[in-house]
Each structure stands twice: as structure tokens, then as C-alpha cells.
Structure 1
Amino acid sequence: MGTADMGLLARARVATRLPAQDLERARRFYSEKLGLEPVDERPGGLLYRCGGAEFALFQSAGASPGTFTQMAWQVDDIDSVVALLTRRGVVFEVVDLPGLRTGEDGIAEIEGNYPSKGARGERAAWFRDSEGNMLGIGEPVHQS
């Protein structure tokens, strides 16, 4: 790889792919619970756009283990987003690990995340979609 080729991926847009054993069930979840509609579809796949990024759900015989965050959204007001999604029936994960614990509101306070964003930490919450994919929501906590 020549010097001119270095950084090609750094300039590329990232597009997340999430498996779905039942694509129609997943479409309903993303529409009814998250308020998202696909911008494009093909047999076996749904494409979504959020904030200039893309993610796709694809028909898969395999199942996600749902043991780690596979995709997350960065929001400006996590309290409002969690409250809205909870009203729509989204169930947030309870996390109780050393150094990482969600409060009664389903939101964890994470110190030290994202100093490159001018943040001193992050507030985060996690939930699973209808297919078992672990999804997250985060809000950087900026220096005050």
C-alpha cells in the first residue's frame, strides 16, 4: 500500500450492519419503538439513515449474542430520549458491574469517556431490539 493509499478508510463513511432473523418484526420495532423508517430496501435488507450515517438490517439465520453494544446513537438530551423510548415500550438494560451501574432511570454515568470531544464523561443507556441486537444511546458530558 503506497503513501497515497494510507487513510482511505479514515475518510470512508462507516455503515453498520445488524442481523435480523425476522426482518418484518425488526421493521415494526424500528418503526413503532424508535420512529425510524427505511430509506431503501431490497429483498433481505433494510437501509436506515440517521444524522448522516447509515445502518442496515439484513435477514440472517444467525442471531446476535446481544452481549455488547453493536451500534449507538449520540444524542443531546439522553433523559428525553430514554423517557420517550420507555413510553413507546423500549426496555432498558439494568447494568451493575464494577465501575458501571445504571440508575433507576436506566442511565449510567461513565467518567472519562471522550476527552477528544471536550467531554469529561458520558451518560449512556442500552436496550435490545426485537432481534437481540444490543443498542446504545449516549450523551457526552462536557466540561463545566
Structure 2
Amino acid sequence: MLSERTPIATLPTADVARARTFYENALGLTPQEEAPNGIMYRCGAGKLFLYQSEFAGTNKATAVTFMVSDEEFDGEVDALRAKGVNFQTFDYEGMQWKDDVMVSDGMRAVWFSDPDGNILNVGTGAM
């Protein structure tokens, strides 16, 4: 059954080399496997596949979430900031923001975009 399978996040990119620089340098991912027009990264128990596509950046919602413990959150956010990642804020009922970090009901999260505009998220708490 699919409920017992680990999904692979699949993200389009207009420029595989540019995306590779971001995912490896800013996020610290290591390539697991390469295809002619894409790269597979292992992320914990899951995977993230970047592939060449003319539709890169057309999704305007969160595409990938990286869940971390509350204890790890500040370190992850600091590391992203140190790599030049800019966080996004937006209006959504029940969300409060402090220094571009969403704080709500015991959860904390940040959102940011990759070079193609794919929206990524790092968060704590149950989803």
C-alpha cells in the first residue's frame, strides 16, 4: 500500500546547475544519484529530486517541508541565514511572526524560496 511508502519530493528547476548550487551550498544536501536532467538527494528517510522543467517556479504554495525538532530549529534557521537565505512572511489566520519566524500553538516555522521560486519550509511540531 502507498501508505507504507516513503514519498519522494519532486521539484522542477529551469537550471539544474543553479539549483544544485543552492541545494548543496545553502541547504547542505549531498547528491545521491544523478540523471541526465536531474539530481536525487537523500534527506533523512526521504528523498528530493530536482529535474529540468519549463514549469519551474509555477507552484505558489509550500512544495517541501523539512521537519526538525524544537531543539534543532534555531540552529537550522541560523545556518540558513548565514548562507544568505531570506525568509518570507505572509498573512494567515492564527500565525504570528517574530524576526521572520512563524510562532503559533507551540510550532515554529520559516518559509523561503529556491532560485526557481519553489517554496520550502523548515518547521517544528506535528503536521
Cα pair distance change 1:38/1:20, threshold 3 Å? same
Q: Show the counterpart of 1:31.
A: 24
TM-score with structure 2 setting the length: 0.90
Does residue 92 of structure 1 match 2:87?
yes
Q: Show the counterpart of 1:115.
A: none
Structure 2 gaps of 5+ residues are none
Which residue of the other structure, out of 9, 13, 18, is the alignment partner of 2:6?
13
Which residue of the other structure, out of 43, 55, 62, is the alignment partner of 1:69?
62
SS at match of 1:67: coil
TM-score with structure 1 setting the length: 0.80
Structure 1 gaps of 5+ residues are 1-7, 112-120
Does residue 44 of structure 1 match 2:29?
no
Inter-partner Cα distance in structure 1 for 2:93 and 2:65: 22
Instruction: Output the aligned Cα RMSD.
Output: 1.5
Query: Whose radius of gyration is greater, 1 or 2?
Result: 1
Inter-partner Cα distance in structure 1 for 2:12 and 2:82: 26
Offset of 1:66 from its aligned partner?
A: 4.5
Decide whether the 8 Å contact of 1:95 with 1:101 is kept in 2.
Answer: no
Deviations 1:53-99 (A, max 9, x none): 11100100112234211001111221111111001100111223332
Offset of 1:122 from its aligned partner?
A: 1.8
Does residue 110 of structure 1 match 2:95?
no
Larger RCO: 1 or 2 (CA < 8 Å, sep 6+): 2
Inter-partner Cα distance in structure 1 for 2:77 and 2:22: 16
Inter-partner Cα distance in structure 2 for 1:59 and 1:27: 11
